[in-house]
Amino acid sequence: MRRFVSWNVNGLRAVEKKGFVEIIAGLDADLVALQEIKALPEQLPETVRTIPGYTAYLFSAQKKGYAGVATYTREEPLSVLYGIDHTDHDYEGRVLTLEFGDFFFVNAYFPNAQHGLVRMDYKLRFNNDLQAFVKTLAEQKSVVICGDFNVAHKEIDLTNPKQNEKNPGYAPEERAWMDNFLGAGFVDTFRMFNQEPGQYTWWSYRFNARSRNIGWRIDYFCVDKKSEARVTGAEILAEIMGSDHCPVVLAYR
């Protein structure tokens, strides 16, 4: 049984000062996917780049202090693919894929549509390009795709759906894309096991949102439909602090 973790750390240098290395050791995962590392490799302390028992692969944005993803693995991958061969997306360090013998592991940081939905066109272009990319992978072998999707799919996935219908992360276009993605042959693994409301992965730093559990579920593990039987569990680790997001977990055989 393999254990995978995905976590938007909102700055790897910041979370390193909040016990990151100890948290990772405690998670005891085979693969750890991080989003929003907000650093170039040379800006990171050695303690973060060389965690005992893991090899780290980093794909940073060209712009300093922005976006970027990192994947830590216990098992050596067969290959590592940086980006999805689209310059505008890859410039922002958004997708990192590790290939193993019987599956691909895709770590993705989806764009935020931003206030006023000013990046919605870009976000939808990214989403569609990434969907085409993972569809191609799924034709070869099993696919696990995880990360911060920056969308709450359904009303159950955020505290205040009505107030957020025109806001980034819950706009109709974003939710329609998620419908399309799942309809095209992918599975939201958390909802295989848990249909309860109040299950969130991100909370605003304002209004004591986290302590009041006023949140959004925008971080996911998805698998291709053919591999659904390989999923044996999925959970949200809301008790783990250090970021405005918490880690999510997938058990996979």
- How far is residue 26's CA from residue 41's CA, in Å, rounded to a whole number? 24
In this prediction, the residues of the chain whose per-residue pLDDT falls under 70 are: none
Residue 30 sits in a domain whose CATH number is 3.60.10.10
Residue type, 16: E
Show the CA angle centred on residue 67, arms to residues 234 and 116, nearest 5°: 95
Residue 216: per-residue pLDDT: 99
For the chain, how many residues are written?
Answer: 253
Catalytic residue among 30, 148, 179, 244: 148
Q: State residue 89's pLDDT score.
A: 96
Angstrom distance (rounded) from CA 103 to CA 18: 32
pLDDT digits (tens, 9 = 90+) for 143-178: 999 999 999 999 999 999 999 999 999 999 999 999
CB-based contacts of 83, cutoff 8 Å, min separation 6: 59, 89, 90, 93, 94, 95, 96
Task: Print the domain residue range for 172.
Answer: 2-252
With CA atoms as reference, report the closest residue to 191 among 142, 157, 148, 229: 157
How many domains in the chain?
1
Catalytic annotation present for 148: yes
How confident is the model at residue 36, as a pLDDT? 99
**Stated pTM of the model:** 0.98
